[in-house]
Amino acid sequence: MTTSAMKCRAAVITPPGEGGIGVIRLTGRDAPALVQEFFRGKRPAHLLAEGAGRKLHYGHLVKDDEVLDEVLVTVTRPGAEDPAVEINCHGGIVAVERVMVELERCGAERVPADVAVDSQLDAAQREAAVAIPRALSRQAVRMLLEQYNGALSRAVCNAGQMAPRAAVDALVRIEATARLGMAFCRPSRVVIVGAPNAGKSTLFNALVGHSRAIVTHIPGTTRDFITDVVVIAGLPFELIDTAGLRKTDHVVEREGVRVSHEQISSADIVVLVFDATLEPGDEQEQMRTQRAMPGAWTIVAANKMDLLGGGVPSFAGDADICISAATGAGLADLEARIVGAAVGSESYSGGAAVFTQRQLHLISSALEAARRGDEAFREILHAVVDPTEA
């Protein structure tokens, strides 16, 4: 079969420019054959073979010796009448469009993203299909593609076939994936707080990678909050820069301080920044107060270490980390602490992952029932994949 004779539907299921990634989904009998014409894998990959499904195939899409993009390819239901192929493009929206143009030239019909959601998917797979367009990192897309291809569904179904006591260990392992899986899909809120002129905005800009906040040496410049999404070690985080915390009679600045406290109350992680070149004053009390607050994980950062000529003041020992937001010193360690606060030492290497609150609630409920020896745990588990429940 030549590519000119191939017919299938193609949809871009990620929004333009979001996260610097793009996923194209092709559906139809000829979808694997069409992609096979372009795909050059690092290892020989036969996308038409029965064993091609549920695997990530790394390689490049090549047309007339021109590399269109570096890609990850997955095949769903290979050999069936209605197979599907997902192409995870790494070159952003420009590469996605270049690939789409070539697919259309070879007979693929471009369709809207919502057409790409397959009615034959179970509830967990459908949730993955809906989440993929909102993914903010390549690693999140990779995780969601595996769940879209049935990794979580298979793990749940396998556990449901066990006796209650035997299913407990399997369900514990599945439940343990939720912290990381959900962190991929819901960015943790990281709120940067501290006294005016402590370097909060400089730190925010350094972590974001470009200037968003106004940085000056005048205390009180940031009177509202500024937010952006950053990806650290594959995990998305919502980063918030806030107004300086201090007592003030200025009406506008006082409102900024109030808003800062609101952001702290809804934070998952608080980065408390203080100026290491100044005597601590009220900041040590602020550290103790913030650490004592329930909820958010607090990381205390002593900033402006570049201005100390290599010396470390004694009160900096109260900090978790010493940094220079201006030079970048210590920022890699700070990022590692932020990731650790969000997911501990966990990392995703493939397989089943819980990624919605609905899934977690059902799996936790099934685990409780299995621990009691209650056969009803199977019915609870079935709701994870039952399309009528999503």
Q: Which two tokens stand for residue 274?
A: 């203080």
Tell me the residue range of the domain where 57 lies. Answer: 3-116
Look over the chain and give the mean of its residue pLDDT values, rounded to a whole number. 79
CA distance 250 to 228: 27
Task: Examine the fold and report which residue of 116, 146, 170 is the final residue of a domain before the chain moves on.
Answer: 116
278 or 79, greater pLDDT: 278
Characterize the bridge pairing of strands 321-322 and 66-76.
unpaired
Domain count along the chain: 2
Task: Kindly give the residue spans of alpha helices, DSSP state H, lying in 270-375.
Answer: 283-292, 331-343, 357-371
Query: Do 65 and 203 fall into the same domain?
Result: no
CA distance 308 to 199: 15
Evaluate whether residue 248 is within a structural domain: yes
Task: Examine the fold and report which residue of 343, 358, 373 is the final residue of a domain before the chain moves on.
Answer: 343
Q: What is the DSSP string of 177-230?
A: THHHHHHHHSPEEEEEEESTTSSHHHHHHHHHTS--S---SSTT---S-EEEEE
Contacts 24+ apart (CB under 8 A), 62-68: 62/38, 63/38, 63/102, 68/38, 68/95, 68/98, 68/99, 68/102
Q: What is the pLDDT of residue 119?
A: 54
Query: Do 199 and 323 fall into the same domain?
Result: yes
Task: Examine the fold and report which residue of 343, 366, 382 is the final residue of a domain before the chain moves on.
Answer: 343
Evaluate whether residue 367 is within a structural domain: no
CA angle 118, 122, 123 (to 5 degrees): 105
> Measured in whole angstroms, how far is the alpha carbon of residue 155 from the centre of its chain?
22
pLDDT tens for 332-389 read 999 999 999 999 999 999 999 999 999 999 999 999 999 999 999 999 999 999 855 5
Q: What confidence category does residue 156 fall into, taking pLDDT thresholds of 50, 70 and 90?
A: very high
Contacts of 264 (CB under 8 A, 6+ apart): 191, 193, 242, 270, 290, 293, 296
Q: What is the pLDDT of residue 209?
A: 85
Evaluate whether residue 375 is within a structural domain: no
Give kind and range of the element (H or E) at residue 169: helix 164-176
CA distance 49 to 78: 7
CATH code for the domain of 30: 3.30.1360.120
Q: φ, ψ for residue 41 (rounded to 5)?
A: -80, 155
Q: What does the buried/exposed string (b/e) look like for 282-311 if buried means 16 or more CB atoms within 10 Å of the residue's CB? A: ebeebbeebeeeeebbbbbbbbbbbeeeee
Residue closest to 84 by CA, chosen among 150, 31, 5, 141: 31
Query: Do 221 and 339 fall into the same domain?
Result: yes
CA distance 390 to 385: 8
CA distance 126 to 38: 28
Q: What is the DSSP string of 88-107?
A: EESSHHHHHHHHHHHHHHTT
CA distance 137 to 16: 13
Query: Do 192 and 328 fall into the same domain?
Result: yes
Per cent of the chain over pLDDT 70 is 72
**What CA–CA distances, in Å, run from 256 to 106, 224, 250, 269, 335?**
57, 5, 10, 20, 26
CB distance 73 to 88 below 8 Å: yes
Q: What average pLDDT does range 60-79 have in this prediction?
A: 82
Q: What confidence category does residue 43 fall into, taking pLDDT thresholds of 50, 70 and 90?
A: low
Q: What does the buried/exposed string (b/e) look like for 125-134 if buried means 16 or more CB atoms within 10 Å of the residue's CB? A: bbbbbbbbbe
Query: Do 195 and 336 fall into the same domain?
Result: yes
Query: Do 267 and 189 fall into the same domain?
Result: yes
SS3 content of the chain, % helix, strand, coil (to 5): 45, 20, 35
CA distance 291 to 282: 14
- Is pLDDT at 64 greater than 90 in this prediction? no
CATH code for the domain of 283: 3.40.50.300
CA distance 390 to 388: 6
CA distance 40 to 344: 37
Q: What is the pLDDT of residue 58?
A: 82
Q: What average pLDDT does range 49-73 have in this prediction?
A: 77
**What CA–CA distances, in Å, run from 51 to 6, 45, 147?**
22, 10, 18
Q: What is the pLDDT of residue 52?
A: 55
Q: What average pLDDT does range 15-36 have in this prediction?
A: 75
Q: What average pLDDT does range 170-181 have in this prediction?
A: 97
Evaluate whether residue 60 is within a structural domain: yes
* Residue 141: CB atoms within 10 Å: 26
Helical packing angle, 377-385 and 123-131, nearest 10°: 40
Q: What is the pLDDT of residue 229?
A: 87
Q: Which two tokens stand for residue 57?
A: 């195939």
